[in-house]
Amino acid sequence: MMLSRVGERVFWLARYLERIENTARLINVHTSLLMDLPEHREINWYTLVTIFDAKNDYFDRHDRVNEYDIMHFLLADCSYSGALVNALLALRENARTSLDILPETLWEQVNELHLLVKEEMSSIGNRRRRQNLLLSIVERCLGIWGIIANHMSRNYAYDFLLAGKYLERADMTSRILEMTSILVADKESEITKQYESILWGTLLRALSAQQMFTQHHATGLKADKVLTFLITDSRFPRSLSFAISALGKYLTYLPNPDNVLALQAALLERLQAYEADSSMLAMTHQQMDKLQHSLNAVNHAIANQWFYPDFATT
């Protein structure tokens, strides 16, 4: 089997790559949404800080809530561990230290992405240039995944990469779905109700899911149908159930996966049992919080099983 530290590096390479893509995608779509909505609304720039669960970190650094400070915080603030620029540095370092097992073109693409962001990050105060940068980041991340899919042997390194990808995807999707707590709140404003279809459409676009959802549901954007699709659909790659199922697939290929697979299977069973009735809709925020704790438990189990087995608790 590959060395534990090598497995850990490629696992986290995949997590950071997926995190960068989804962060760029979410901020880009959210910016477009705010341009379509009236000024007084529950959803604003600060909603992004909430989605990333970074309230304390933000107010440790900023006294005001405005577009520029939030964009700088989420994208370029080197002192905030969750900033995109730090995820990109971690991605680059994991790729650099794994050159012997990864396709050579992958390193080239990761380094070019790093240089692009480094060159353009000073312009994030310009909304148009920022939007173009975010779109370029998404495209380059997809290109890197294409290199992995088409240029890499199906071995343990590949299995760790894909396990990391789908674990991170599930976590990012759950955070995006936390926005639904605003859309299904009992006391949502008349403005929110008026623009409800736009808001649900934005949620789908943030996950590149609108076209596939429309193919399955031609009757309009209804809360129960959108949430059921994004949580339980087993055929759409960005649904929670698909991501957790795919995670189990790649864990199966690794040595002695039974303990980790038990956590994954219990999580998948819980997701597939989801039913979007009115009471469940109101609890979406709490459900996604619980899911994130469960995903963290899976992450720790993976580390204990394959990365640091000598330190695993019994």
Nearest Cα neighbor of 254 from 164, 171, 147, 172 is: 164
Cα(296)–Cα(57) distance, integer angstroms: 20
Nearest Cα neighbor of 230 from 192, 185, 183 is: 183
| 163, pLDDT greater than 80 | yes
Q: Exposed, middle or buried by CB within 10 Å (0-12, 13-18, 19+), for 210? A: middle
Average pLDDT over residues 89-114: 96
Mean pLDDT in the chain? 90
Range in 158-167, 200-209, 211-220 with the lowest mean pLDDT:
211-220
Q: Which residues contact 220 (CB under 8 A, 6 or more apart)?
A: 197
pLDDT at res. 4: 87
Q: Exposed, middle or buried by CB within 10 Å (0-12, 13-18, 19+), for 86? A: middle
Q: How confident is the model at residue 18 (pLDDT cuts 50, 70, 90)?
A: very high
| 194, pLDDT greater than 90 | no
| Helix or strand run (H / E) with residue 229 | helix 223-232
pTM of the model as a whole: 0.93
Cα(17)–Cα(92) distance, integer angstroms: 9
Residue appearing with tokens 């605003």: 182
pLDDT tens sequence across 274-314:
887 666 666 788 889 999 999 999 999 999 999 987 755 44
Q: How confident is the model at residue 193 (pLDDT cuts 50, 70, 90)?
A: low
pLDDT at res. 314: 42
Residue appearing with tokens 């997701």: 271
Residue appearing with tokens 């910016």: 31
Show the DSSP H helices in 73-103 as ranges.
84-96
3 state DSSP class of 160:
helix
For the chain, percent of residues with pLDDT exceeding 70:
89
